[in-house]
A and B are shown apart, each in its own frame.
Chain A
Amino acid sequence: DAGVIQSPRHEVTEMGQEVTLRCKPISGHNSLFWYRQTMMRGLELLIYFNNNVPIDDSGMPEDRFSAKMPNASFSTLKIQPSEPRDSAVYFCASSTDGTGLNTGELFFGEGSRLTVL
């Protein structure tokens, strides 16, 4: 069974360009999370969706970041315009449960390493 699939694995872009990161969660999982990993800040939660609906976007750094989940099998994280400080590894994770006491295991993709020059 395929795990969480992220693309691209690596992206190098110039400051000011638009970046779109993509994620396909595990089939049947109803929660999807976007995390950002840096040396200084560790794993930060940016936003999460439950049943395709954004539940909490309080971790999104600023208006340059946006995320969508148009259906249960696809999500995007967009940065426009990108800045050098956005350089990080962005992880998508999915889970079968996002609420209540049945907090489920997060299954992470392999990440998208973004470098903004």
Chain B
Amino acid sequence: GENVEQHPSTLSVQEGDSAVIKCTYSDSASNYFPWYKQELGKGPQLIIDIRSNVGEKKDQRIAVTLNKTAKHFSLHITETQPEDSAVYFCAASKGDKIIFGKGTRLHILP
């Protein structure tokens, strides 16, 4: 089955700097790659997703890139703000179930 690896597990960046989280997946049939943000005490929420027919997608300060050949994808957050502090999960799917990475705890330092 699909296996999603996510790095780093913890990331601290200065407010205003950029943060990058990287993921790899194992199943070449996967074609949908969402990213979820989880705030303390809440369930994860979708923040951005990308499908295998595109290589990059942007939404304001966040962007995702996908390299199908290498089977890896990344989340980029620019101009980080305190409210970006949370746990971020990458995930992969080939159309049925969604398999998540183990998460990255992002700390934004003042």
Contact = CB atoms under 8 A, between A and B. Distances in A.
Interface string B43-59: 11110010100000000
A98 B46 CA distance: 16
B43 A105 contact: no
Nearest to B30: A103
Contact of A42 (B34, B93, B102): B102
Interface residues of B, number: 24
A110 interface: yes
A42 B44 contact: no
B83 interface: no
28 contacts: A4-B43, A35-B100, A42-B100, A42-B101, A42-B102, A43-B100, A45-B97, A45-B98, A45-B100, A48-B97, A55-B97, A56-B96, A56-B97, A91-B43, A91-B44, A98-B97, A99-B95, A99-B96, A101-B51, A101-B95, A103-B32, A103-B96, A105-B34, A105-B46, A106-B46, A108-B43, A108-B44, A111-B43
Nearest to A105: B46
Contact of A110 (B34, B42, B97): B42
Interface in B52-106: 89, 93, 95-103
Contacts of B41: 110
B42 A41 contact: no
A93 interface: yes
A86 B101 CA distance: 20
A82 to B, nearest CB: 22
B110 interface: no
A105 B42 CA distance: 16
B86 to A, nearest CB: 14
Contacts of B49: 105
B26 interface: no
A43 B31 contact: no
A58 B2 CA distance: 12
Contact of A106 (B1, B31, B95, B98): B98
